[in-house]
Amino acid sequence: MAEHIEHAAHAHAAPTGFIRKYVFSLDHKVIGIQYYFLALASVFIGMFLSLLMRIHLVWPGVSLPLIGEIKPETYLSLLTMHGTFMVFFVLTTAPQSGFGNYFLPIQIGAPDMAFPVLNMLSFWTTFLAFLVAIAAFFVEGGAPLHGWTGYPPLSAVPSAGPGEALGADLWVLSIAIFCVASLMGALNFITTVLDLRCKGMSMMRMPLTVWAWFITAILGLLAFGVLLSAGILLLLDRNLGTSFFIPGGTVVNGTLLNHKGGSPLLWQHLFWFFGHPEVYIAILPGMGVASQLLSTFSRKPIFGYKAMVYAIMAIGGLGFVVWGHHMFMSGMSPYSAFAFSLMTMAIGVPSAIKTFNWLGTIWRGRVHFDSPMLFAVGFVSLFVSGGLSGPFLAQPLLDIYLHDTFFVVAHFHLIMGVAAIFGIFAGTYYWFPKMFGRMMNEALAQAHFWLTLIGTYAIFMPMHYEGMAARPRRYSQLTEVGWLQQLTGVEKFVTYAAFITIAAQFIFVFNLFWSMFKGKKATDNPWNATTLEWTTATPPPHDNFAGVTPTVYHGPYEYSVPGAPNDFVMQTDPTPHGGHVPSEDKPLAAE
Amino acid sequence: MPASLELEKHGGGGGGRVPPPRGGDGGGARGDDAPDFRERLNRYRLGMAIGLIGVIMVFVSLTSAFIVRQGTTTRDPNTGIETVDWLPITLPTSALVLNTLLLMASSVALEMARRSLKRQYAVAEAVGDSEAQAPAPWLAISVLLGAGFLAGQLFVWSELRRRGVYLPTNPSSSFFYLLTALHGVHLLGGMIALGYAQATAWFHRSIAQRLLVVDVTGIYWHFMALLWLYIFGLFQFVK
Ligand code: HEM
Ligand SMILES: [Cu+2]
């Protein structure tokens, strides 16, 4: 392999002390793992809260050990914190900051992120945000009631309910801190991709995972600043008497508030200008992973690499002009509703391009259904199932009926929640050998996959029907409502399914930790994949390539190249067909 | 995108080795030596430019909030009449103009500091660190002028308070306090970076290190000056 050794002595030395190595580490790989475990802790918090909600929905009077009876306002706190942990600390954290941190530099042949110190700061700032969010549970009045979307006036008036006092302040603060951390992370990702690619790694030779992380970082850079300013305005309204969001004449608990003239809609605009790109921040990295895995495990090049790149860009770009589809009920002008509706439908085009390209990739491939591949296929399945309800919700006329029903809950859980989680699982099973040097147990992984796939469909599919039966969202007690009695059976079914699905996640966690210590030793390239992380040692050394900067000669998906001796050609292979030079061919030149 | 680096090639300045391929350098991010200085400078400039996009988004969204809030009406439930509660804020303009001049002067001083450091760096590269004479105290002047601007802003706030205009008095005053405070916080951050650059001189860190900080903070500082003009303009012309 033609790699050039180059001022290796210059590379920063690996740290030795425990604190510098594992706690305040500057190494992107350690930071990536830190993010990953933060997300893992958060997903269990989020799942636990959702289980409490599900229990309360079907047995409202039951008193749980340690927790007691769940009051209606407690249900709203659970709801808020469930959504907050899932969206921010799981879906924004694991796919982008976790895997992105670990593998983006390696996949472009860089020794680290562009700004390692900033990278460390981003993680610890995120961790601070996490602690502040946790603190909201334990203060007087408990966690806020306003949902992850934090709509004012509820979110802006401390006297509006028990959790709206200090708990809500901590919530806003946590989100604001999270925004700052994400901005620092985004800056680092973008600079790294633009400036640290190794020789030969042109933009169009980057793996689609890198493209996804790159575009996600751009979305983050443009979106988090907006949420940050909205958060600051909200904190001022809550604590310093301003009236950005609180309208005049607001009466809370019989008391007329002193605020006047604010606009609750202003919050909705700012929030959703962030919020819609945020759902793509959650899902794009999963799309990258799915593309990578479908190609690798079908032993075929990705179908339409360029189309995939442009589709990611189009989704990212259109994502900024559709936020109004969350606000059809706000009394907006029918003309703007129409425009938002049209733009939203337009996102269907690049999404369909991606879906068809994924199908085209596995079409007639020699598909290996290892666990990473199963989750990648599961990702596509969930993306399609969840995506199909999108065009319904995108039509104002239908949304007026479906808005704030469980139809929406079903839609966003499938397409954003669980699909992105499947992306995380796929990434975990795929990259675990590289990260920890051992293979995960395949039998457990397969069991985990089937239970999770069937379980999530069992939880979220019936919610569509409940939504069409006008079962409202964010309501704690349905058992008293006459016209919802008929749904009791479905509600019970969903709760049982949630129990089983959540239990199945313990298989995953067991597998994760067990394999870390007891798994079969992994080779450097267990999946016969082509990208740069598989050219280096397992786990990779401190500066990723042990002082050797790789040179890239190929695109990332050269599988089953005709005439090649292997069915994969490493990106670093200088020969046209992977170790096999027909007499008429000359070795390649790096671009 | 960062401007191309103006440091001219000077004999052996690059350490006399082949320039590394774009970005593929091992320790660039951490090392403190001259050889990959250009590369680091470009990387930091790029990072700063991208970071500023994030800052811009904060102020763009606040501007949109400013405009929306300005036009928000409240409907009286009894009479059905819609009223706007926004009252244009009357600012102590002469004080603000003075502040503006201070900030612009600070920007100019920082540019002077950067240029003299660049010259000092070139000399140090050619004849060795100890020979390069200390630059004029432009850096300190710039920080002082910046501090003057902040003090001036505080004076403007106290002046407004004296007139009974507080943060919650009217949405226009809310925005004024908020935008000036956010801008001030950003400036403080820049001053800390410049203070760090000054401190590296006392601790005999390399000139390259200082030039790097001053150059990149300079971009930030000039941007903050422009941002201030923008905010000032917003309150003068869109009130
Ligand atoms: C174990 C699987 C899960 C179950 C059983 C579950 C259950 C629930 C339930 C019962 C609600 C409340 C609906 C309502 O009353 O309005 C909810 C809301 C929500 N969930 Fe999940 N969830 C799960 C996983 C996830 C995941 C992976 C995400 C990541 C996106 C997520 C994000 C949300 C969000 C954003 C809300 C809305 C919160 C709000 O209205 O403010 N959930 N979930
Ligand atoms: Cu949306």
Measured between beta carbons, the chain B residues lying within 8 angstroms of A229 are 58-59, 61-62, 65
Could you tell me if the CB of A416 is within 6 A of ligand 1? yes
Q: Please classify residue B205 by burial: count the beta carbons closer than 10 Å to its beta carbon, then call 0-12 exposed, 13-18 middle and 19+ buried.
A: middle
Q: How many CB atoms are located within 10 Å of the residue B24 CB?
A: 24
Measured between beta carbons, the chain B residues lying within 8 angstroms of A8 are 26
pLDDT of residue B8: 36
Pairing of strands B82-84, B73-75: antiparallel
pLDDT of residue B135: 67
**Contact flag B24-A229 (C-beta cutoff 8 Å):** no
Q: Check pLDDT > 90 for residue B11.
A: no
pLDDT of residue A314: 97
Q: How far is the CA of B21 from the centre of ligand 1 (A)?
A: 48
Q: Please classify residue A57 by burial: count the beta carbons closer than 10 Å to its beta carbon, then call 0-12 exposed, 13-18 middle and 19+ buried.
A: buried
**Contact flag B53-A11 (C-beta cutoff 8 Å):** no
Name the residue facing B24 among A222, A240, A549 (closest C-beta).
A549
Could you tell me if the CB of A472 is within 6 A of ligand 1? no
Q: How far is the CA of A305 from the centre of ligand 2 (A)?
A: 26
Quote helix, strand, coil % in chain B, to nearest 5: 65, 5, 30
Q: How far is the CA of A312 from the centre of ligand 1 (A)?
A: 26
pLDDT of residue A582: 58
pLDDT of residue A580: 63
pLDDT of residue A563: 82
CA distance B223 to chain A (A): 17
Q: Is the pTM of this model over 0.80?
A: yes
Which protein residue has the closest C-alpha to ligand 1 atom 41? A147
Cα dist from A438 to A21, A372, A549, whole Å: 21, 15, 25
pLDDT of residue B210: 86
Q: Which residue of B has its CA nearest to A184?
A: B51
**Cα B22 from chain centroid (whole Å):** 28
Q: Check pLDDT > 90 for residue B59.
A: yes
Instruction: Locate A511 and state its tokens.
Output: 């597998």
B31 falls in which pLDDT band (50, 70, 90)? very low
Could you tell me if the CB of A413 is within 6 A of ligand 1? yes
Interface of B with A in 41-60 (CB under 8 A): 42-43, 46-47, 50-51, 53-60
Could you tell me if the CB of A126 is within 6 A of ligand 1? no
The residue-averaged pLDDT of B9-24 equals 36
Bridge partner residues of B83 (DSSP): B74
Q: Check pLDDT > 50 for residue B103.
A: yes
Q: Check pLDDT > 50 for residue B1.
A: no
**Contact flag B57-A226 (C-beta cutoff 8 Å):** yes
pLDDT of residue B216: 95
| A interface test, pick of B1, B5, B17, B30 with most A CB neighbours within 10 Å | B30
Which protein residue has the closest C-alpha to ligand 1 atom 36? A83
Give the separation between CA A99 and CA A32, rounded to whole angstroms. Answer: 6
Q: What are phi and psi of A400, to 5 degrees?
A: -60, -35
Cα dist from A561 to A2, A183, A250, A303, whole Å: 20, 41, 68, 14
Measured between beta carbons, the chain B residues lying within 8 angstroms of A112 are 29
Which of A196-210, A265-279, B2-16, B44-58 comes out lowest in average pLDDT? B2-16
Interface of B with A in 91-150 (CB under 8 A): none
Q: Check pLDDT > 90 for residue B55.
A: yes
pLDDT of residue A16: 74
pLDDT of residue B182: 98
Give the separation between CA B147 and CA B158, rounded to whole angstroms. Answer: 17
Question: Could you say which residues of chain A have pLDDT below 70?
Answer: 1-13, 580-591
Give the separation between CA A164 and CA A207, rounded to whole angstroms. Answer: 45
Whose CA is closest to A409, among A473, A453, A365?
A: A473
Give the separation between CA A175 and CA A130, rounded to whole angstroms. Answer: 9
pLDDT of residue A587: 61
B203 falls in which pLDDT band (50, 70, 90)? confident
Whose CA is closest to B136, among B122, B115, B121?
A: B115
Q: Tokens 């239970």 map to which residue?
A: A451
Q: A547: alpha, beta or left, given left = phi > 0 and alpha = psi -120 to 50?
A: left
Cβ neighbors of A334 (< 8 A, separation 6 or more) are A396
Secondary structure of residue A382 in the 3-state scheme: helix
Cβ neighbors of A352 (< 8 A, separation 6 or more) are none
pLDDT of residue A564: 84
Inter-residue contact A109 to A549 (CB < 8 Å): yes
Cβ of A110 under 8 Å from any chain B Cβ? yes
Instruction: Locate A578 and state its tokens.
Output: 């992977």
Q: Which ligand is closest to the CA of A154, given by its number?
A: 1
B134 falls in which pLDDT band (50, 70, 90)? low
Whose CA is closest to A446, among A495, A499, A378?
A: A378
pLDDT of residue A589: 65
pLDDT of residue B131: 60
Nearby residues for ligand 2 (ion, Cβ within 5 Å): A 276
